[in-house]
């Protein structure tokens, strides 16, 4: 069972040059797309991936 009030990891990777990237799980992605001005959003699959693992991949791509 998934609870909407349970804490979820959300990260922002903001490089010195370039645009920020929000990293969020599938449960929260709709709200981020609706409420955020950041256009680049990386989604990780809750309970199958971790936010940290996704962040590592994003930082590898941006370096």
Give the residue extent of every domain in the chain: 11-62
Of 38 and 60, the one with more pLDDT:
38
Strand bridging mode 21-25 / 40-44 = parallel
Q: Is the pLDDT of residue 51 over 50?
A: yes
* pTM, full prediction: 0.78
Q: What is the mean pLDDT of residues 35-54?
A: 89
Q: What does the DSSP 8-state code read for residue 17?
A: S
pLDDT at residue number 1: 41
């Amino acid at each position: 069972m998934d609870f909407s009030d349970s804490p979820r990891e959300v990260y922002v990777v903001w490089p010195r040059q370039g645009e920020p990237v929000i990293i969020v799980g599938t449960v929260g992605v709709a709200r981020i797309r609706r409420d955020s001005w950041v256009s680049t959003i990386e989604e990780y699959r809750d309970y199958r991936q971790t936010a940290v693992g996704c962040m590592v991949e994003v930082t590898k791509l941006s370096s």
